[in-house]
């Protein structure tokens, strides 16, 4: 599946360059309108990130997220600032299909274990962000010494099945995904689903990833730069479905 992405900051849809909050592009002042476009195109799934929430550690764009859920009938996944069971429960009650836990995977592994136990791997997706194969947390502001592979291994034992892997150095750059890293992780964790995020430029990148076993891809800037269309995303996703 190809997941088109909407990144939220201050109620607007933006794109960051390499995860830097001071290097952003306004995509749409009305994410609700974007969601309506995605709905009309029948893309089938949508990846949402609360950037303010990721930075501050708690939900910040709930009103907009609620509006997007009302406009979009497909599968909706959301990450950013999900650090406790109360927030997980709140978003699931709002109608979010899958919540993405990122920074808390490193900071609060017990919470992640509890969330997986309570809601299962269909509802709880793990976000692994970083560069040079090492994890970054708190809206990508802090780089750690923890290896992505070590963290995936640990959370897989707790029952996680789906991991969204973002190479921060590729995100928003249109330089192509870190195929080597993604394929290596997928081959290492064969019972898990590695989702590619960051740097995807066009349909050729998507096809190359899928040919090498990476079935799910998140697309942000390439969509808004006109390198891939909503119609093409819908076509790919309907063929999968």
Active site residues: 7, 129
For residue 216, the cross-strand partners are 195
- Dist CA 138 CA 143 (whole Å): 9
Q: Comparing C-alpha atoms, which of 154, 164, 17 is closest to residue 80?
A: 164
What residue has token string 């764009």?
61
| E-state strands within the chain | 2-9, 12-17, 20-28, 45-50, 75-79, 98-101, 124-131, 134-137, 142-147, 162-167, 193-197, 216-219
């Amino acid at each position: 599946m190809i997941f088109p992405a909407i990144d939220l900051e201050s109620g607007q849809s933006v794109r960051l360059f390499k995860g830097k909050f001071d290097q952003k592009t306004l995509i749409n002042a009305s994410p609700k309108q974007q969601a309506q476009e995605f709905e009309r195109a029948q893309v089938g799934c949508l990846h949402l990130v609360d950037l303010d929430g990721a930075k501050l550690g708690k939900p910040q764009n709930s009103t907009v997220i609620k509006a997007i859920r009302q406009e979009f009938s497909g599968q909706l996944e959301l990450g950013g600032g999900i650090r406790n069971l109360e927030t997980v429960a709140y978003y699931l009650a709002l109608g979010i299909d899958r919540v993405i836990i990122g920074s808390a995977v490193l900071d609060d592994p017990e919470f992640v274990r509890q969330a997986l136990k309570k809601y299962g791997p269909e509802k709880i997706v793990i976000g692994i962000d970083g560069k040079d194969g090492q994890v970054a947390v708190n809206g990508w502001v802090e780089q750690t010494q923890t290896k992505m592979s070590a963290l995936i291994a640990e959370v897989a034992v707790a029952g996680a099945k789906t991991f969204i892997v973002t190479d921060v150095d590729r995100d928003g750059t249109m330089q192509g995904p870190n195929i080597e890293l993604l394929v290596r992780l997928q081959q290492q964790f064969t019972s898990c689903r590695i989702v590619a995020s960051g740097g995807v430029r066009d349909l050729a990148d998507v096809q190359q990833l899928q040919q090498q076993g990476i079935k799910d891809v998140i697309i942000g800037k390439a969509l808004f730069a006109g390198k891939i269309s909503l119609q093409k995303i819908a076509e790919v996703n309907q063929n999968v479905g």
